[in-house]
Amino acid sequence: MTQEVIAIDGPAGSGKSTVARAVADALGWTYLDTGAMYRAITVVATRRGIDLDNASELAALAESATIALTPHVSVNGESVDDDLRTHATNVGVSVVAANEGVRRALVHQQRRWAAEQPVGTVVEGRDITTVVFPDATLKVFLTATLDERARRRGEEGAESVARRDAADASRAASPLRQADDAVVVDTTGRSVEEVVKEIIECLTSRTLN
């Protein structure tokens, strides 16, 4: 087993998922999409009619949840793939992600998942470098202009992306912020291949030093 982790943070639409998957593929490491975990809890809570402002009920849901991310996203065997990117989920996920009990439960799952991998792990989210894996082998903070990020999010639009930025940065539980020792990579106008190459070069440099 190995504890090698590349932790990637950044705001919505900065390219975290695409870049993290590509880095994992290039290195032969495993990939963990923490955002999908929060979205999965949001979907199930909505389906069950749970008020997203009910902190204790949401936390209890997360604590009892077994989330599978491959080959499909499911919670306790219930598929949530079809509803992960709906407008309701886009709006609700920031509320769910701000719930301290939910974050505590999912962070525990994320750390356990990475510890069980036979190779290194590439993890992306919004508090990975600061909270989940503060001792990661390499920390990366991806960014891009708001216009670029809104374009990538398609139907979500600039207003929705900006609202999520504000919610993620201002929440009391594990807010989005750049770790002091993170490598900042601006993905605006750059290809995935260029960004992946830069990250792997940074990893190689850190490993050699």
pLDDT tens sequence across 137-173: 999 999 999 888 988 887 677 888 888 788 778 777 7
CATH number at residue 108: 3.40.50.300
The boundaries of the domain holding residue 145 are 5-208
List all residues 6 or more positions away from 128 whose beta carbon is below 8 Å from its beta carbon: 7, 8, 9, 34, 136
β-bridge partners, 140: 8, 183
Predicted TM-score of the model (pTM)? 0.84
How many independent structural domains does the chain possess? 1
| pLDDT given at position 13 | 87
- The tens digit of pLDDT for each residue in 69-123 reads 988 999 999 999 999 999 899 889 989 988 999 999 999 999 999 999 999 999 9
**pLDDT tens profile 178-195:** 899 999 999 999 999 999
